[in-house]
Structure 1
């Protein structure tokens, strides 16, 4: 490209994605913990996404639900907590301290200050009262093991206190102390989401005391998180890294320097890989297809997505807030979308004209993946939390 940097083109970026994101058939994983370790984080805003993202990457998806539930709620190998961009993710337990220090602390300080400020404006009790309620609630949660907010309020009735938020504004509302306080405690790393009240698709969670972890240096934690992510998702631009982490650009640049990241040339400009990852990566030996859920960590992995998702497909596959819906992949790029219908059928549609022999191969592979998905999902019905135009149309 004329700048002396090694050029990494679209084909190689797709090859890296196929192998490192466990999507090519030969790269699939044995269990949920292995998937999470490979991807660094699984999007957890929509509970079903975690299971669907894992199932799409397992060699044998038949035990997806049972094994993922065991990893989350029994072995605690995986932890659901707030992370980058104030979003709920599922992380390997060994990464929780890194995420907490690198991204959670700054958000937590803002969240607690906002809660105290909002309560003061509403004439609610002060910060000392809130601290007393917090300690009582945490003690009750420790005794119970896991509990809903309503169950905790049985032990600590002050959690039921309400206060008016944004009085006089068009968005005025009434908040309950339990709702806001548990959110703050979650971001602070004191509590985590526990087992849901319903099935694996339920968004009604119990809470549990967070597992203990060491308090890490913020800069060191940011360096480690960026190193882990770049090893999986590199090459990536500064803009990609800033978007994914939610950090300031100065933090991104400092972490890049700390890990000795290597600059490479991409179609959109300068990108970065971890030291030792500059050499070419060969494409998978076999063609592959995948059906990934809405908010999948691969589809949402980069800010610039043109190299794997054509802009003309975005209106069909994204909602108005920029959340991606269920996607159909073929050899490293998004070629369509899918949805589950009321009878359990997995309906899908190609949005790209593949043409000729390639289309036949793609359709056969996608059909196989759709049946594979239908088989392990069984009687469960999955409706994405953020619905997109194509998903709505296909599910009707």
Structure 2
């Protein structure tokens, strides 16, 4: 694997230029007389560099611009949101202050459940689309699951839960913002516990408050507000969600898929099904609704939005980036060979498939990074091919950039990869 790197070392490898041009443009024959354009790895990396706000000239001015470009920022780990924004800002010095402003003061960004039962941060104007296209289906499953587990675990029935829910929402409206503990002072039934997974290795006691607030969040009735601690804290207050219009499900799915494909296209049907968490029939219906165009990829057929078939020329300069665990770029596609070599995955993913912090060079993952207990940011190349001295200098510059805006903050990923644990020394 090579040594931990805090600075740079000499490397005689030739610098890789993939991702700096659209140099692999071509066409692919499909059936009788039909021709579709082939988009190769170099152009896919070029699109990633520009549209994911990672190349130097493509970086954004503020967190709203980042979220708008990315469609969704992973929010399961609170720190990921801030680290993902900071990696994409032209001036990251006010990353924390500006992201907190957007989330908790101006409410231009909203943290909510979305695709694959996962918490994301979305631009506020997109929340009705996500709610109708995805969250409602998630919410129905969550509520059914809660009622089933309550019944098996010896808790009261659905009518009882409905009373608790209405009382909780009324208490939250009176308080404005509150933690689950504070809400339980007003509605003591939230403290009710029930046995989950009796006889299983994961047997334990669940509290009504934890499960019910999750359901209400997925249903769009409550939202996460400012945390109790710093920006790395996962102990959130809750607030009543503002009203928003309801969309037709099919129209909302078409709108969401079109937004994502404009940023992340080309993508395969498998990529789209994985990212959305929808049925394949929903994906195909949405592709047809937006008039998506088929293109050729190394993996087979991919899709772009109409008008996006033309070649994309990449950034004029090489670029490096340090992305956090669960970053939306690293987790953006199910089929990742074009930017993440398979041999690197055991070091960079945890046992559940969550990616840890990654080091990027010209559109591909080349290593990982971590922060030690003393605050030092360290990194290691796992694939030095084509990086050379230019790449290592650029990566070291990104390390200093990250260290600068973190200040005294200490960040430990919620989902830890083997490499991150090793580099962090824990």
Residue 347 (structure 1) aligned with residue 378 (structure 2): yes
After the TM superposition, which residues 280-291 of structure 1 pair with which residues of structure 2 at under 5 Å, given as runs? 280-291=311-322
Cα offset, 1:175, TM superposition: 1.3
Q: Which residue of 2 aligns with 1:24?
A: 55
After the TM superposition, which residues 343-382 of structure 1 pair with which residues of structure 2 at under 5 Å, given as runs? 343-354=374-385, 358-382=387-411
State TM-score, norm by structure 1.
0.98
Q: Which residue of 1 aligns with 2:132?
A: 101
Task: Calculate the aligned-residue CA RMSD, in Å.
Answer: 1.0
Residue 384 (structure 1) aligned with residue 413 (structure 2): yes
Cα offset, 1:167, TM superposition: 3.0
Cα offset, 1:129, TM superposition: 1.4
State TM-score, norm by structure 2.
0.91
Deviations 1:198-220 (A, max 9, x none): 11111111111112111111111
Deviations 1:249-275 (A, max 9, x none): 000000000000000000010000000
Equivalents in 2 of 1:170, 1:97: separation in Å? 39
Equivalents in 2 of 1:124, 1:366: separation in Å? 54
After the TM superposition, which residues 1-396 of structure 1 pair with which residues of structure 2 at under 5 Å, given as runs? 1-3=28-30, 4-354=35-385, 358-396=387-425
Equivalents in 2 of 1:175, 1:308: separation in Å? 40
| Uncovered stretches (5+) of structure 1, i.e. residues with no partner | none
* Helix, strand or coil at the partner of 2:316: coil
| Uncovered stretches (5+) of structure 2, i.e. residues with no partner | 1-27
Tell me the number of residue pairs that the alignment of Structure 1 and Structure 2 aligns.
394
Equivalents in 1 of 2:396, 2:176: separation in Å? 43
Equivalents in 2 of 1:194, 1:236: separation in Å? 34
Equivalents in 2 of 1:113, 1:367: separation in Å? 50
Report runs of 4+ in structure 1 exceeding 4 Å deviation. Answer: none
Deviations 1:141-183 (A, max 9, x none): 1111111100000111111111222334443221111111111
Equivalents in 1 of 2:156, 2:95: separation in Å? 46
* Helix, strand or coil at the partner of 1:284: coil
Equivalents in 1 of 2:159, 2:220: separation in Å? 20
Cα offset, 1:100, TM superposition: 0.7
